[in-house]
Chain A
Amino acid sequence: MAKIEFANSIRRLRFDNDEMSQQELAEKAGCTRQTIIAIEQGKYNPSLGLAFKIACAFDKKIEDVFRINEILNTND
């Protein structure tokens, strides 16, 4: 069975967008700052809806923000 690991570019995109703070991004995406922190640190995978909202906050496509980092085959 494949194990999928997700990664995101939120931190980099925040800095590319005039050093947007986590609070500003949270307000734009309609979530809490703690959730943004958890997503940035890879501790929480957002729902599809929230992922779209975060991507919209950066004016990017969802795949520009979130990506599959690696797929590990656990059968091996």
Chain B
Amino acid sequence: MNKWQKIAWYNIFVIIFTFILTGVCVGILTIKYGMPKALSGLGMLGTLGLLGLSDLIFKKKKHHVEFDERDKLIFYKSIQITFAIFWPLFTTACMVPWFIIGPNNPISSNMLPVMLGAIGITLVVVQSIATLVQYGWRSRDGEN
């Protein structure tokens, strides 16, 4: 498993871990304090900041080629897939509230960062999955 596969797995793990942690926190706070206060449990979404540590955790090995033409091709393809997913997702995110509440009603400005965050997380997941699929998930690839 190379560095890029490890980073993809790490991203997926952090996102799943964050959502489980946030769900548990909100659940516990809902039981203890009731709903409006329980929303403070959403602060656990800050754990997503761990995504930024992937480059520090998976450092480049010295005197070792880690990114060649095939990795570059896989990287570009995963970006293309992510970009192809982005537009339908963005359009849906914009149009669904419009269809639900109608054209003449206001929506909370809190919706904007929520939309941005949700799309961002989805894109990280899509790129990670696209990377893993192209490498062949576990791919220790017939070593000998």
Mark A residues whose CB is within 8 Å of B. 22, 26-27, 30-32, 34-35, 37-38, 41, 44, 46-47, 49-50
Q: In the complex, which residues of chain A have a beta carbon less than 8 angstroms from the beta carbon of B141? A: 34, 37-38, 41
Q: Closest CB of chain A to B68's CB: distance in Å?
A: 4
Mark B residues whose CB is within 8 Å of A. 2, 65-71, 135, 139, 141-144
Among the interface residues A34, A38, A46, A47, which one has the most CB atoms of the partner chain B within 10 A?
A34
Q: Closest CB of chain B to A16's CB: distance in Å?
A: 15
How distant is the Cα of A27 from the Cα of B142 in the complex, in angstroms? Answer: 18
How distant is the Cα of A46 from the Cα of B70 in the complex, in angstroms? Answer: 8
Other CB < 8 Å A-B pairs besides A22-B144, A30-B65, 18 of them? Answer: A26-B65, A27-B65, A31-B65, A31-B70, A32-B2, A32-B68, A32-B70, A34-B70, A34-B135, A34-B139, A34-B141, A35-B71, A37-B141, A37-B142, A38-B70, A38-B141, A44-B70, A46-B70
Number of A-B contacts (CB under 8 A): 40
Q: In the complex, which residues of chain A have a beta carbon less than 8 angstroms from the beta carbon of B65? A: 26-27, 30-32
Q: In the complex, which residues of chain B have a beta carbon less than 8 angstroms from the beta carbon of A32? A: 2, 65-68, 70-71
Q: Closest CB of chain B to A37's CB: distance in Å?
A: 4
CB-nearest residue of chain A to B66:
A32
How distant is the Cα of A49 from the Cα of B69 in the complex, in angstroms? Answer: 10
9 CB contacts below 8 A, A to B, read: A22-B143, A31-B65, A32-B65, A32-B71, A34-B2, A35-B71, A38-B141, A44-B70, A47-B69
Q: Closest CB of chain B to A67's CB: distance in Å?
A: 20
Q: In the complex, which residues of chain A have a beta carbon less than 8 angstroms from the beta carbon of B70? A: 31-32, 34-35, 38, 44, 46
